[in-house]
Structure 1
Amino acid sequence: MSPLLLADIESDVIFRVADALRVPVLVLTLLALLWLLWECGAFAVELVRRRRRDFRRLDAAAAGVRESLVAGRDRGVVASEVQAVAWSGEMGRTLDFMVREVGTPGDEQRLSKALADFDFGSLRRLERTRLLVRAGPALGLMGTLIPLSPALAGLARGDVQTLTENLRVAFSVTVLGLLIGAVAFGISLVRDRLYGQDLSDLEYLAAAVTRKADGA
């Protein structure tokens, strides 16, 4: 087999593989856009919930937990009351666990594990938008380059319609990919700060209930 024939076969295989990826890339780009819209909605809810965040509210909740546990009140009731400073469902579940476990044997280790699990959960939620930060531009670039080959072929044949259609697809996917990456990057930056504040609030409350247990 001559080198020229081998090169033609390799080029044809590469072209066919790239052309086969055209539809999957376009579908993935649309799915990424829908995913981003869902994340934007969830992000808006997170911002609204944290409008109530205030250190005085947090400090009052910590003092209330201490007084309630010292007084021997039902822990389920105390756990429901402290939900007022839970800025997310995950934070609420962690607070519920902390109130119910404090004062039991080995509570410090379990509280530390609960805080670590909350942190890991926050990282998992951040990974969703961080993935979009990378995947959006990558899909945009692939969606740009794949239609260029048939567009150039149409140009060589003088087929202006094929050229126009493929260039429209290429540039549209580029814009979508960059939009997905840029918005996901902004959400990731703000969420990183929000989740760090959540963890700080939980650590403050954990220290408060632990001090109560030590003094009981």
Structure 2
Amino acid sequence: MDSITNILYWVSTGLLIPVIALLLFGFVRALMLLGGFFGMYINRLKYESHIQDFLKQFSENKITENDIQEKITGNKLFKNHLLDIVKYKSNENHIEKILSDFEIASEKELSSSKSLAKLGPMVGLMGTLIPLGPALVGLANGDIASMAQNMQVAFSTTVVGIFAGAIGYVTQLVKQRWFISDLNNLEFLANTLKNKN
């Protein structure tokens, strides 16, 4: 029994360095995601300021591809799919495929936020639990310095993991709302085109 517990102890202790490396990668990824999200937010402000007028104009008049190129700014994904819808407006099946492709592209864009929101806290928890074993051994042996160092590692990994997870979660929520709004607008425009034909 002692040999089995020793093997488990060495395996878990050996995972500490990969876990810390993953946490550092997750932290850098969270900062990059936050920067990309900020840029997306700035572009979104441009897009939001024009989209309602564009939707009203689209339902009242005939809009060309040049109008879309000029008036839809700040949302490349939406613009490209709208151009495809206008291009294949007479083919209902093709429009359904374009809308499905937009959903897939949106999910792909959300995947990094989703994975960070789930994996950040998990890896942070691993980084918390792994040093607790050596910390308890240090406490039992009266080595307070070793215990303090291990507890510092444990708490630091928790904070980094939760930070990365929080960035992932918040960006996922906001992006999800944006993509649902875009899909709703695309469906409205596709139905408007269908009724005009």
Q: TM-score, normalised by structure 2?
A: 0.89
Which residue of 14, 27, 30 maps to 1:20? 14
Query: Are 1:136 and 2:95 matched, yes or no?
Result: no
* Aligned CA-pair RMSD: 1.9
Match of 2:76 in 1: 89
The percent of aligned pairs where both chains have the same amino acid is: 32
Which residue of 133, 152, 165 maps to 1:181? 165
Distance 1:63 1:50, change over 3 A: farther
- Name segments (4+ residues, structure 1) moved above 3 Å: 61-64
Query: Are 1:113 and 2:126 matched, yes or no?
Result: no
Q: What pairs with 1:18-57 in structure 2 (closer than 5 Å)? A: 18-52=12-46, 53=48, 54-57=51-54
The structure with more radius of gyration: 1
The CA deviation at 1:118 is 0.4
Query: Are 1:8 and 2:2 matched, yes or no?
Result: yes
User: In the aligned structure 2, how far is the partner of 1:202 from the partner of 1:95?
Assistant: 7
Specify the SS of the correspondent of 1:147: helix
Letter in 2 for 1:183: I
Residue ranges of structure 1 left out of the alignment (5+ in a row) = 1-6, 69-77
Listed one character per residue, the Cα deviations across residues 54-94 of structure 1 (whole Å, up to 9, x for unaligned) are 41233224555x254xxxxxxxxx2x431332542222221
The CA deviation at 1:196 is 0.4
Q: TM-score, normalised by structure 1?
A: 0.81
The CA deviation at 1:102 is 2.2
